Structure 1
Amino acid sequence: MFTGIVTSGKTSEPLPEAYVYIPKAGRGILSNRMGYFALPVLPGDSVVFSYVGFKKQYTIIPRRLTETSFSAVIAMQEDVTTLAEVKVYPYATEELFKQALVNMKLPDEKERENLARNTSAEAMQRLAAMTPMSAAANYRYFMNQQFFGRDNLINRSQMTTIPFLNPFAWANFIQSVKNGDLKKKEYRQEMNATPRENLTRDDIIKYKN
């Protein structure tokens, strides 16, 4: 029979309801209000003592024990755990607490403000206007110049037509004479204007409309 008293190693006060058990046997008891316990054991058993706020302690029953009883005073060591600081703020009402919580500044408030400012619609538009074209945009611009420019890929393999022999051009000319377009100032300015070196897709659409 293993008997003894469980005490605090710092104050030597008894620890009531300390848990005394044998893990290998799967059984144990609690100490009484005076810290006393009595547990049947076998030689070589490892007895574990545990208590809230104290470190676990182990005691091994001697194998060459000749007596039928074994006694010991178990002095438990305190297990000190340092917790994070907690600040308590007094508020008279729940509404004051909610208002203070809403107005509380977060640690990453500056980062949030920078993120909102840099991702706003105005900032995105400014970046889009200042950022140069990407590789895909350059490719599209080059292809537009090739297809809609004066030196396009389609006309390279075709014979250049003579507008003087084009019947549709003559029909448009006769119709414009009947309409008196030659007398209009806008028409004369358009006819005398020098054609652009390169035409874009927007110019073609504007001209057709």
Structure 2
Amino acid sequence: MGSIEQTDFDNVGTKVLSPSTLAHVVLRTGKFKEMVDFYLNFLGGTVTYGNDFLSFITYDEEHHRIALIGIPDTGPKVPTSAGLEHVAFTFPTLSALLLAYRQRKARGISPVWCVNHGPTTSMYYKDPDGNMLETQVDNFDTNEAANDFMTSKYFAENPIGTDFDAEELIQKIKHGVPDAELKKRVEIGPRGLPNLA
């Protein structure tokens, strides 16, 4: 007989056990059909379960990554209220990030902000309710290298990043400019947060 691993529930340790992964985000909406259509297009997703007021959407191995709950008396988002700022989705390469950008653009979904933060090259979008979504690619090959940049004088001076033009990046890729060069942040000095409200 194999041994059964015993958990010591009385040994609470020095910190809480971390989850293994972030499973999903659930959004309440008064624009149910519009939001379902948006997320299916935005994520290249499929509905694993849906009815007149619930939609569970996935784009990978998880049964759902985004769930939408349609509640008719839901008021509009207040951009200045406290709450979730954005949800981020990572792509494996700069070319994949930019291809998804072009595919969304062809479906009428355009970013509201394109910025190289340093650790990531990121594109921000808004859904029909005004929730912010980030699509990104990591700019460094290791977490250690990203952490080194985040503790550098450049990041201390400008933790927001440098804006970029997605179409210019696509043209540079087409002309053979290496990703490592395109992912390197252009240093512009201090800057504040943009107004994306």
TM-score tier (shorter) = under 0.3
Structure with greater proportional strand content: 2
User: TM-score scaled to structure 1, two decimals?
Assistant: 0.18
Larger RCO of the pair (alpha carbons < 8 Å, separation 6+): 2
Q: Which of structures 1 and 2 has the bigger CA Rg?
A: 1
- Relative to the length of structure 2, the TM-score reads 0.18
